[in-house]
Structure 1
């Protein structure tokens, strides 16, 4: 049971991290389009 809970916590953490990374990449792309000189 503890292993299942741990696995779920890790999976949730990975999903959250991936969402943050994707959001950051999208924001960077948007900034690159808006301000090409940077």
Structure 2
């Protein structure tokens, strides 16, 4: 079975949003951490 490209794009988008969300939360919780 071939995986629908739409499903791949959806999963990738959700993963990217989740990653960005985690980064933002961590950045807000640790403002003292130096940013590169």
TM superposition score category, shorter chain reference: 0.7 to 0.9
5+ residue gaps, structure 2, are none
For normalisation by structure 1, the TM-score amounts to: 0.72
What is the RMSD computed on CA atoms of the aligned residues?
A: 1.3
Alignment size in residue pairs: 30
Larger-Rg structure: 1
- Using the size of structure 2 for normalisation, the TM-score is 0.75
- Deviating runs (4+, > 4 A) in structure 1? none
5+ long unaligned stretches in structure 1:
33-38
